[in-house]
Amino acid sequence: MPHRAPHATSTTERGAFCTARCSCGWRGPARRARSQARTDAERHLADAEAGSDTGEDGTGRPLE
């Protein structure tokens, strides 16, 4: 089984929007609320730990 790098999430702000990102390349949708972007990151980490890495951004859209 290939070794997977740990997931490290962060949030970035651009104008009025905040986006969650991960070291694996995952990116959440732009949110006006920082708390929602943090929740997106927490959900991504939970999904990654559960092994359900779907290659989606949490909204059903594929990663870019």
pLDDT in tens, 20-61: 999 999 999 999 999 999 999 999 999 998 886 555 555 555
pTM for the whole thing?
Answer: 0.70
Report how far Cα 13 is from the mean position of its chain's Cα atoms: 14
Task: Give the chain as a 3 state SS string.
Answer: CCCCCCCCEEEEEECCEEEEEECCCCECCCECCHHHHHHHHHHHHHHHHHCCCCCECCCCCECC
